[in-house]
Chain A
Amino acid sequence: MIMSIGVVLILSAGIGMGVFRARELWARPRETRALIQALSALETHIVYGETPLADGFRECVNGCGEDTVTKMFLYLSERLKGDRRCSVSNAVDEMRRKMGSDFSFGQAEWNVLTFLGEQLGKTDCHEAEKQLRLSVEQLKQIEAVAITDAEKKGKMAIYIGICSALMMILVCV
């Protein structure tokens, strides 16, 4: 009886670890998707509303389900409003230093954000629109790669979890 309970526990722990790791791998495309949505909303605010960037950052994450991305844009908004000497690129750099570990982003996503930080707000509406669309296109490609990666590695993580649990059971028995 005890042995059966032990087997079930080990198996559950293995599967749980696999699922946990798979969820981590899926966080990247999820956050990238949220970032794409936020940037698309930001484009609308800039092009049609001529909303100042700090307000645009705050408003573009209204209803965004991804906490990390919401926090990121709110941080940028606060930073730009709070310190008039702070540039957008400085705010992005600071945000990455302070909150970077909370994200599952790879270097590619950060490169897009850095590019936007250097360009956004320094040009007219038309240019800003082009920059945002270019960034969104790049992010879509990154997202597609991240999804494939997550599918592949996610399944593998669950299998490894199950296999590890079985191996441990065999060793113990």
Chain B
Amino acid sequence: MHIGTGCAYNEVKGGMKMKADMILENDIFPFLPEKWGQVIREEDARREDAISEVRLRAGEPIRLRYGLHEVALSRDVMVLAREIDRIVSSFCQHSRYAMESEFQNGYITIRGGHRVGMAGQAVVVDGKVKMLKHIHSLVIRIAREVVGSADRVLPYVWKHGRVQSTLIVAPPYSGKTTILRDLIRQLSDGDERNGRCGVIVGLADERSEIAGAYQGIPRLHIGSRTDVIDGALKSSAMMMLIRAMSPDVIATDELGRREDMVAVEEAVHAGIAVIATIHGRYREDVLARMNKTMREVFTLFSCIIFLDNQPTMGTIRAVMRCDDVSEEIL
């Protein structure tokens, strides 16, 4: 078993902080009441790291998340339910009907690839959630690119002149989507100076978080050879990519369902490398959630990278090569 040394990708500071501020100014503040934008700006100016989440709950102060820490802003600026309703309408371009499927999932993706999660009263028709109304809580997760965040992971993924099927196992807030995005970009673009050619990447982006696609167009840098299927179930999207786009690599976020595993198996059997992420902190976490079929699929990955959010987001805790893991699992 090969264990990688603990390390962290660069935190968003200096230039990255400025970029994060610009994202807020351009993509988020225009939708919020001016006063809210102002208090968030004031709080943000006092901090070195970048906001990762803005949480709005009716009757509560605005809460900001910086990495693993949460900050509540002054109670002078309370969040009002009617403002939340207006903000949701604005995020949807006053067209909730055009985002019915997103509402059914409880989140929408806005311009810039930021994900807005919602909680409220569900309208249920025939046992299925059709729409959310009386929305009283919002969480705006800021999508940010950290160019170079996958530098430490890349040597494990690109080995012997080809891409190894890789599973990234990580708990929430550990930067797995950010690292996956940068990994896709680097693999897709290639690095001719270091003799690494670009590969065709098919991206199954079910929640529009990786490419940040808005109206079908990727807004974040995912490389020049990347084809994205946005908004479809990842299992369906992977199958479509295999059949239609002939990729060298298929990438997707947060595997979980049995169908996802079947699609992964299909891809690997078609000679396509798969790079995916899955929630979990320890290998046992992941295995506990998997049935036998899923465990078998687990062995299809050549490399498994365990990330952590301690001491900082994106810390690589361990890297395992496939054969050893296979033996241990089975």
Contact = CB atoms under 8 A, between A and B. Distances in A.
Contact of A87 (B30, B89, B103, B131): B89
A52 B89 contact: no
B93 interface: yes
B281 interface: no
Nearest to B32: A85
B283 interface: no
Contact of A80 (B32, B94, B98, B100): B94
Interface stretch (A12-20, A31-39, A115-123, A165-173): A115-123
Interface in B28-78: 30-34
A52 B131 contact: no
Given A121-B89, A123-B131, A124-B130, A87 B94 contact: yes
Most chain B CB inside 10 Å of its own CB: which residue of A50, A54, A84, A120: A84
B30 to A, nearest CB: 5
Contacts of B92: 121
A50 B93 CA distance: 12
B143 to A, nearest CB: 18
Given A124-B100, A124-B131, A125-B100, A85 B95 contact: no
A7 interface: no
A53 B89 CA distance: 11
Contacts of A158: none
A51 B215 CA distance: 11
Nearest to A120: B94
Q: Is the interface of A mostly helix, strand, loop or mixed?
A: loop
B96 A124 contact: yes
Contacts of B31: 84-85
A85 B95 CA distance: 14
Interface string A105-116: 000000000000
A88 interface: yes
Contacts of A11: none
Interface of B: 30-34, 85-86, 89-90, 92-98, 100, 103, 123, 130-131
Interface in A113-154: 120-125, 127-128
A88 B90 CA distance: 9
Given A84-B31, A87-B86, A122-B89, A52 B94 contact: yes
The 6 closest A-B pairs by CB, nearest first: A121-B94, A50-B98, A52-B93, A125-B97, A52-B95, A53-B94
B133 to A, nearest CB: 8
Most chain A CB inside 10 Å of its own CB: which residue of B30, B33, B89, B100: B89
B98 A51 contact: yes
5 contacts: A50-B97, A54-B94, A84-B30, A120-B94, A125-B97
Nearest to A90: B86
A46 B98 CA distance: 8
Most chain A CB inside 10 Å of its own CB: which residue of B34, B90, B96, B100: B96
Given A52-B95, A124-B130, A84 B100 contact: no
Contacts of B90: 84-85, 87
Contacts of B96: 121-124
Nearest to A88: B94
Contact of A53 (B32, B93, B100, B123): B93
Interface string A51-82: 11110100000000000000000000000100
A122 B93 CA distance: 10
A123 B97 contact: yes
Nearest to B86: A87
Contacts of A128: 97
Contact of A124 (B30, B33, B94, B97): B97
Nearest to B88: A122
Contacts of B97: 46, 50, 121, 123-125, 127-128
Contacts of A124: 96-97, 100, 103, 123, 130-131
A153 B145 CA distance: 67
